[in-house]
């Protein structure tokens, strides 16, 4: 038996309407509040950046932007929640080097694929780390520290904000590229690490320029070199590790915007354009520079390529340095 002609026409019309719905949804996006998940506790760089951008996005998108802090496991818990969210343009992630490069390389059973489960939107900015020693330490240069570490393997410790942090991995890259055997002392965040550096409990540390800057300016710690390939805008007189003789050293922490994989490309591109316009405003530019973030305009495609290179780089450092989670 053949279905009635009217039923066939209705079925055909339904299929056409269903196919048109995603396009219509993109044209009217956003029609309800948009959520940005921050995979860290309130008050940190990621949280401050997300709230700064959210305030401006509310005006440009004419929709409420909700910030949800979902901290834990070095950004993994929050990132995983976004990876498993509906790809409809109403959930985004303020991701970092920890959630999308270091932890995927370091943790064998991470619950998401950093490349396949996300749609890259934009690289928001990078922050250099800086190699510090206490003001009372005898090391005046990177060469001094390397020589002392090689003379007494394992006797010199460096502190970090925690295992798997960009500060920790800066130290692992330093060990790998210099052959200097330093001992890692992980702390529960940057504040206790730098306080012990100032107090002389540890001789050296890797820290973000944002956290380190006031202590460098006060003379409580000494900056030997920055970890990025180029000098930091906020520490222009401090050489890079490459300039100090450590060839190939290029480590910078970064902040970025992601959507769940499968989010319509038109929405990803729209969000990229909105963010670029916001970051270009003098107010937001100044706020980001105050956080130590250095931004270069980038497309979702350029950011995706950057992400692939970062993940490969950290996978190699973890493997070659035999770094354990």
Examine the pLDDT at 4 and tell me if it is beyond 70.
no
Q: Which domains does the chain have, with CATH numbers?
A: 34-126+254-320 (3.40.190.150), 128-226 (3.40.190.10)
Residues forming a β-bridge with 160: 186
* pLDDT over 80 (residue 218): yes
User: How far is it, in rounded angstroms, from Cα 21 to Cα 287?
Assistant: 39
Cα 106 off chain centre by: 15
DSSP 223: E
Query: Is the model's pLDDT at 296 over the cut of 50?
Result: yes
pLDDT at 74 (0 to 100)? 81
Give the separation between CA 62 and CA 30, rounded to whole angstroms.
8
Q: Is the pLDDT of residue 212 over 60?
A: yes
pTM of the predicted model as reported, rounded to 2 decimal places:
0.83
| Residue 80: count of CB within 10 angstroms of its CB | 21
Q: Which residue has the higher pLDDT, 322 or 204?
A: 204
Task: Sort strands 65-69 and 204-208 into parallel, antiparallel or unpaired.
Answer: unpaired
Structure token pair of residue 286? 């100044």
What pLDDT is attached to residue 93? 98
The yes-or-no verdict on residue 222 having pLDDT over 70 is: yes
| pLDDT in the model for residue 165 | 87
| pLDDT interval class at 26 (50, 70, 90) | low
The mean-pLDDT minimum among 117-126, 134-143, 282-291 falls in: 282-291
pLDDT(175) > 80 = yes
Angle at which helix 265-279 crosses helix 300-320, to 10 degrees, equals 90
Query: What confidence category does residue 303 fall into, taking pLDDT thresholds of 50, 70 and 90?
Result: very high
Q: Is the pLDDT of residue 207 over 90?
A: yes
Percent of the chain with pLDDT over 70: 92
How many Cβ atoms are within 10 Å of 3's Cβ, its own excluded?
9
Rg (CA), the chain: 23
pLDDT beyond 50 at 1: no
Beta-carbon count within 10 A of 127 CB: 26
Q: What is the mean pLDDT of residues 47-69?
A: 96
Q: Do 48 and 262 form a contact (C-beta atoms < 8 A)? A: no
Name the nearest CA neighbour of 264 among 2, 99, 29: 29
Q: Average per-residue pLDDT in the chain?
A: 91
Region 238-263 average pLDDT: 97
Higher-confidence position of 210 and 307: 307
Does 2 score more than 70 pLDDT? no
Whole-number pLDDT of residue 191: 87
């Amino acid at each position: 038996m053949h279905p009635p002609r009217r039923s066939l026409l209705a079925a055909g019309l339904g299929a056409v309407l269903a196919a048109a719905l995603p396009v219509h949804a993109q044209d009217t996006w956003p029609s309800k509040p948009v959520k940005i998940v921050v995979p860290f506790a309130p008050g940190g760089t990621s949280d401050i950046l997300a709230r700064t951008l959210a305030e401006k996005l509310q005006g440009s998108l004419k929709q409420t932007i909700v910030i949800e802090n979902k901290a834990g496991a070095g950004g993994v818990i929050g990132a995983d929640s976004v990876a498993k969210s509906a790809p409809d343009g109403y959930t985004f992630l303020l991701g970092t080097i920890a959630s999308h490069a270091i932890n995927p390389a370091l943790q064998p059973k991470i619950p998401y694929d950093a490349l396949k489960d996300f749609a890259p939107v934009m690289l928001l900015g990078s922050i250099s780390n800086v190699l510090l020693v206490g003001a009372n330490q005898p090391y005046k240069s990177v060469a001094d520290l390397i020589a002392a570490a090689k003379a007494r393997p394992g006797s010199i410790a460096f502190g970090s904000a925690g295992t798997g942090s960009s500060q920790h991995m800066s130290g692992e890259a330093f060990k790998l590229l210099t052959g200097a055997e330093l001992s890692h002392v992980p702390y529960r965040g940057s504040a206790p690490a730098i306080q012990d550096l100032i107090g002389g409990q540890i001789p050296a540390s890797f820290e973000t320029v944002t956290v380190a800057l006031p202590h460098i300016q006060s003379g409580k710690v000494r900056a030997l070199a920055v970890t990025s390939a180029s000098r930091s805008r906020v520490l222009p007189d401090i050489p890079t590790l490459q300039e100090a003789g450590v060839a190939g050293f290029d480590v910078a922490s970064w902040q970025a915007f992601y959507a769940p994989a499968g989010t319509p490309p038109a929405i990803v591109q729209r969000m990229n354009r909105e963010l670029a316009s916001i970051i270009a405003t003098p107010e937001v530019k100044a706020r980001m520079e105050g956080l130590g973030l250095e931004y270069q305009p980038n497309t979702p495609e350029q950011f995706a390529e950057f992400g692939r290179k970062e993940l490969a780089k950290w996978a190699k450092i973890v493997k070659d340095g035999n770094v354990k989670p």
